[in-house]
Structure 1
Amino acid sequence: MIKVVDRLLLFVYSLAVGAASVFAIVAAAGGVNSRWLGNVVDDILGEDSFSQWLTIVIAVVLLLLSLRLFIVSFKRSGGQAPSITQRSEHGDIRISVDTVENLALKAASRTRGVKDLKARVRAADSGLQIMIRAFVDGDTSIPALSEEMQKTVSELVQETTGIPVSEVSVYIANVTQAPTAYKSRVE
């Protein structure tokens, strides 16, 4: 949530600084009447309290945005890889999402006829949701191959991590072509 707010603040700050920069460039290039600019400055410095308060409020908001973004720029990011926390009687166990993805790939690679595997893991309230993307050789029934892969992945991940697997989705991206051997003809 804080990252979203910081991005929004950065967006607003960038717009304000961008608008001020464009105005400064146009004014320096002679695109602004000096009398008008003098009147604006006189209004800000003059006795009109609304203009003074508006200027002060805008300046304070930009200063606060600057300070916030300055602090965020030096703040260390959490830096920790996404993980899944499993509670046990002795304390918490944290398993990285990469570890679960590698386990899923290991299990999926045990299925005959699959190549070029990729895995994605998402933690949900009901358990882990695993998506496997694979290329198949085309010699095996795709539904049978997918079902075997789903079962193998679900069992291995659940058994190894202790975290329930709610869903294993298999996406068959393509069929690989086996290299064909050409016989040479001699005439």
Structure 2
Amino acid sequence: MPGTVLVGWLATAVAGVASDVAFERMGDAASFVLIVYGILITFVQVWITREAFEQVGVTPALPVVNSLSVYLQGLLIGLGVVLGLVLFILPGFYVFARWYLASALLVRDGGGRRAAMRQSWDMLAAHWPAALGVGLILGVLSVAPLVVGEVAPALVAEYGFGWLLATNLVAAAGIVGGYLAAVSLLLNIEQPAPALQEIFG
């Protein structure tokens, strides 16, 4: 499993670097770059999530080739979170927390996007603060380099590609960590905690 995580982390970082470079060069087609990047890292997400479940003896129902279903689910969740943030900031975070397990459930059970979102909502009725805490920590790790780059643009200018690579490596750690955290939280709710040792041990 550590090898899988390493490869997934590097693949996510490389996809991030490629999308950043393409985003700068493509101008009007920049939104297309973001869509391609989202789809690419969703394939990584499904692969890592499947590997984490298999590590504890669970056979996931959703194959990697069906990753587009997880991507589409992510768009639905993102829309719900954005609406919650626009209406009032706390409901946005609450919606994010209650749907935190939706992707992991879709990969494991393959029962459809809405069913996974409903199941996540139900499972996290009592555990949503844990999902929110983990999700925010890893989310901050994912976006912190971009924020630093905006606050201190001199760093970007001075270090150029090195800064681009470093920021994407840090962001990828938060992204991949989020995939593993979702599986771990799901297993921790359903199974005894020692099962988690098999993922990280």
Q: Normalising to structure 2: TM-score of the pair? A: 0.23
TM-score, normalising length from structure 1?
A: 0.24
The higher radius of gyration belongs to 1
The structure with the largest helix share of the pair is 2
